[in-house]
């Protein structure tokens, strides 16, 4: 930080991040007459969706669980809108609520100054001063790149799924996908559909569920059942349906954890995979399941079972992490280890000294919408009861 950065007084809340969570929060605040300022490090809204996702991506969950507050999806949207449709919706959303973020503003430090009772937020060569700070930088801010012995020696291409677009660059090649979450599975399917010889590393047990059960989305069905039945029973039902629809997944190298899929999600945050067609390719042997990697060699990898295989490229579907600990100088609200609020949902949205979080519920866009409403209501109470909006005297 420069010793004397230019200071900018912001009367309303500052939102860090112009993804769906930041936009939703801005819209809810604006609806209550409160002017937010969004600081976004990239040069566009929804940068995760525009810059870091593959072409064939559709919303993983049905549209009714992915709408942002106050503006429904266009009625013509399919059940699972495409990435382009979702981005179009977010553009229209920002336009409708006149949300105009400041782009190219990477927040590198935000700290509460108790001597003035305001937050100091540093981005580029500016210091913004505000009363309310809303963290909306997302659960998936940074790619996780695992440290695997010998990876730098590998002569082929290595990339994270956030850089994968489609199978065009990999035609006729032999590719190893490391990781078997929703993204890893879908990238494998995309590669396979493009005639690529693909293997998928599966190290741990995982739950794979059909995306739909009897024509109803598995997610929607679970939500409905949870209103009436305990989670353990719903989990048992989901596992029975999965067994009937997919068969014994263990036979194909995908052993299931002891804990049921919903219970596991709530306890550890580990999302079950919703199958979009990958499993039938695994069953037919078109996608090969391989164990964990022990080390990389020049042209391939050695697995933990001692077998060796050559590959032209490796795609790391190894997930993402929050980046909050790198810039938010605060110890109580966010856990510095995982960058998530310490208190779990539904209490994850508010910290001390007017700091808030939206989009850290591990519940996707539905969670972001709930947070956005709560945060806007809480700030509105303070905004409406304020006696005066003045600059801190010390400035």
Ligand X SMILES: Cc1cc2nc3c(=O)[nH]c(=O)nc-3n(C[C@H](O)[C@H](O)[C@H](O)COP(=O)(O)OP(=O)(O)OC[C@H]3O[C@@H](n4cnc5c(N)ncnc54)[C@H](O)[C@@H]3O)c2cc1C
Return residues touching ligand X (CB under 6 A): 16-22, 39-42, 47-49, 53, 57, 59-61, 66, 106-107, 136-138, 140-141, 183, 323, 327, 359, 364-366, 368
Shortest distance, position 80 Cβ to ligand X, whole Å: 8
Instruction: Choose between 106 and 224: whose C-beta lies nearer to ligand X.
Output: 106
Residue 187: strand, helix, or coil: helix
Q: Which burial class, exposed, middle or buried, applies to 64 when counting CB atoms under 10 A from its CB (0-12, 13-18, 19+)?
A: middle
Spell out a b/e string for 228-250, using b for 16 or more CB atoms within 10 Å of the CB, else e.
eeebeebbebbeebbeeebeebe
Q: Taking the CB of residue 96, how many other CB atoms lie within 10 A of it?
A: 12
Instruction: Choose between 12 and 101: whose C-beta lies nearer to ligand X.
Output: 101
Instruction: Choose between 49 and 163: whose C-beta lies nearer to ligand X.
Output: 49
Distance of alpha carbon 181 from alpha carbon 202, whole angstroms: 9
Shortest distance, position 18 Cβ to ligand X, whole Å: 5
Shortest distance, position 108 Cβ to ligand X, whole Å: 7
Q: Taking the CB of residue 94, how many other CB atoms lie within 10 A of it?
A: 21
Instruction: Choose between 288 and 321: whose C-beta lies nearer to ligand X.
Output: 321
Instruction: Choose between 47 and 286: whose C-beta lies nearer to ligand X.
Output: 47
Shortest distance, position 263 Cβ to ligand X, whole Å: 20
118, 130 contact by CB (below 8 A): yes
Instruction: Choose between 34 and 136: whose C-beta lies nearer to ligand X.
Output: 136
Shortest distance, position 225 Cβ to ligand X, whole Å: 19
Shortest distance, position 289 Cβ to ligand X, whole Å: 21
Contacts of 227 (CB under 8 A, 6+ apart): none
Residue 17: strand, helix, or coil: coil
- The residue number whose beta carbon is nearest to ligand X equals 19
Q: Taking the CB of residue 140, how many other CB atoms lie within 10 A of it?
A: 18
């Amino acid at each position: 930080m420069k010793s004397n950065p230019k200071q900018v007084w912001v009367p309303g809340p500052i939102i860090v991040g112009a993804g769906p969570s930041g936009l939703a929060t801005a819209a809810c605040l604006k609806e209550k007459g409160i002017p937010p300022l969004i600081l976004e490090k990239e040069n566009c809204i929804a940068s995760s969706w525009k810059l870091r996702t593959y072409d064939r991506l559709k919303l993983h969950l049905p549209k009714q669980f992915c709408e942002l507050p106050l503006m429904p999806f266009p009625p013509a949207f399919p059940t699972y809108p495409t990435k382009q449709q979702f981005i179009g919706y977010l553009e229209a959303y920002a336009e409708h609520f006149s949300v105009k973020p400041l782009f190219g503003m990477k927040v590198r430090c935000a700290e509460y100054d108790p001597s003035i009772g305001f937050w100091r937020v540093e981005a580029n060569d500016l210091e913004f001063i505000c009363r309310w700070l809303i963290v909306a930088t997302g659960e998936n801010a940074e790619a996780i790149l695992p440290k695997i012995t010998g990876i730098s020696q590998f002569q082929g291409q290595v990339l994270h799924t956030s850089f994968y677009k489609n199978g065009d660059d990999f035609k006729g090649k032999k590719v190893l996908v490391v990781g078997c979450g929703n993204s890893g599975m879908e990238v494998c399917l995309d590669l396979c559909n493009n005639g690529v010889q693909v293997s998928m590393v599966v190290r741990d047990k995982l739950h794979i569920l059909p995306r739909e059960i009897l024509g109803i989305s598995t997610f929607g069905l679970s939500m409905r059942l949870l209103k009436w039945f305990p989670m353990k029973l719903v989990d048992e039902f989901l596992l029975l349906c999965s067994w009937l629809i997919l068969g014994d997944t263990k036979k194909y190298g995908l052993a299931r954890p002891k804990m049921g899929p919903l219970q596991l999600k709530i306890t550890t945050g580990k999302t079950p995979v919703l199958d979009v067609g990958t499993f039938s390719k695994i069953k037919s042997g078109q996608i090969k399941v391989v164990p964990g990697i022990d080390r990389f060699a020049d042209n391939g990898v050695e697995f933990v079972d001692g077998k060796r295989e050559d590959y032209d490229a490796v795609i790391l579907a190894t997930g993402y992490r929050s980046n909050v600990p790198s810039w938010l100088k605060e110890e109580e609200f966010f856990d510095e280890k995982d960058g998530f609020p310490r208190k779990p949902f539904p209490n994850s949205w508010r910290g001390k000294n007017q700091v808030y979080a939206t989009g850290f519920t591990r519940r996707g866009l539905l969670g972001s919408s709930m947070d956005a409403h709560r945060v806007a209501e809480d700030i509105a109470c303070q905004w409406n009861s304020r006696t005066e909006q003045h600059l801190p005297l010390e400035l």
